[in-house]
């Protein structure tokens, strides 16, 4: 598969057509019958799937995702094409990083590199990654190799993709590496607030009277929002990598002090 193909589709027929056309572009003799052999289905059934005359079942979706060597996030998209609610549910199936694993990739650009693989025209090139993220080629090289060693990246032609479910860390566990990671994002947010025009960013906040006993519920609501946000905006063609940071903290000095 071509590293520049983007599989974040809302319609599985678009995925099948894109892959078929991509293979035809590389080999003019590649036909629908050839593609059916690759997927392990009959040519007539594949034709009916592409035309919409027959629905794609979950079992077929899993089989096709394996035949096309789709990444976990791409598999989620294929399943969500049949049931949009499935994407939100699948996003909760995250890879929870252990403390020692997260410590290795706690610098912000590791996660930006993973997302950059989904950008149109992505390249597994230290120079390209460094230029797109504003980091050094040494940082790009070391981070990319580290992600590959951890099995979080798979190569796809001249590009690459994330090879794991969305990454997460355990909730409410004290971690110096996690504090460092969030600190980097806060510092970068301040820099972007000064350097980027308002049309390319959004900073907002609210201040409310709050009962700390509701904090657990508030965290759960924020997590659901993040999942829904990913579900909505990790679709279609991407050209940039954005970071969404949600902060909720007391602006008062409470009696717990």
Per-residue pLDDT of the chain (257 residues; tens, 9 = 90+): 233 333 444 567 877 888 888 888 889 899 999 999 999 889 999 998 888 888 888 788 878 888 887 766 666 666 666 555 445 445 456 788 888 899 999 999 999 999 999 888 899 999 999 999 999 999 999 999 999 999 999 998 889 999 888 888 766 666 888 888 889 989 999 999 999 898 999 888 888 898 989 988 898 888 888 888 887 887 778 899 999 888 776 766 665 55
Cα-based angle 237, 28, 32 (whole degrees, multiple of 5): 75
pLDDT of residue 31: 92
| 12-91 CATH fold | 434 Repressor (Amino-terminal Domain) (1.10.260)
pTM above 0.85, yes or no: no
Given phi > 0 = left and psi -120 to 50 = alpha, else beta, which region is 236?
left
DSSP single-letter state for residue 214? G
Ordered alpha helix ranges (H), 10-165 = 12-26, 32-39, 43-51, 58-67, 72-80, 84-91, 99-104, 109-116, 126-133, 137-149
pLDDT of residue 172: 61
Select from 33, 10, 12, 35 the least CA-distant residue to 22.
35
pLDDT of residue 176: 86
At 59, give phi and psi (nearest 5°). Answer: -65, -40
Just give the CATH number of 94-257.
1.10.10.10
pLDDT of residue 61: 81
pLDDT of residue 35: 92
The domain locations on the chain are: 12-91, 94-257
């Amino acid at each position: 598969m071509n590293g520049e193909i983007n599989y974040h589709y809302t319609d599985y027929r678009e995925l099948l057509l894109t892959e078929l056309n991509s293979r035809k572009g590389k080999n003019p003799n590649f036909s629908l019958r050839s593609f059916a052999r690759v997927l392990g289905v009959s040519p007539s059934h594949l034709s009916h799937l592409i035309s919409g005359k027959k629905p794609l079942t979950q079992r077929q979706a899993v089989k096709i995702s394996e035949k096309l060597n789709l990444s976990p996030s791409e598999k989620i998209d294929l399943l969500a094409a049949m049931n949009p609610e499935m994407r939100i549910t699948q996003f909760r199936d995250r890879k929870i990083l252990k403390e020692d694993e997260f410590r290795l990739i706690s610098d912000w650009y590791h996660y930006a590199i993973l997302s950059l693989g989904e950008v149109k025209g992505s390249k597994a090139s230290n120079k390209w990654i460094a230029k797109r993220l504003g980091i050094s080629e040494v940082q790009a090289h070391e981070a990319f190799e580290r992600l590959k060693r951890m099995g979080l990246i798979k190569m796809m032609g001249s590009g690459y993709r994330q090879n794991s479910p969305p990454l997460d860390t355990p909730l409410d566990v004290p971690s110096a590496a996690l504090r460092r990671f969030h600190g980097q994002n806060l510092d970068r947010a301040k820099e972007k607030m000064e350097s980027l025009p308002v049309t390319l960013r959004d900073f907002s906040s609210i201040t409310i009277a709050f009962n700390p006993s509701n904090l657990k519920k508030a965290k759960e609501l924020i997590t659901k929002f993040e999942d829904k946000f990913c579900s909505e905006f990790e679709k279609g063609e991407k050209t940039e990598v954005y970071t969404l940071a949600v902060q909720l903290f007391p602006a008062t000095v409470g009696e717990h002090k």
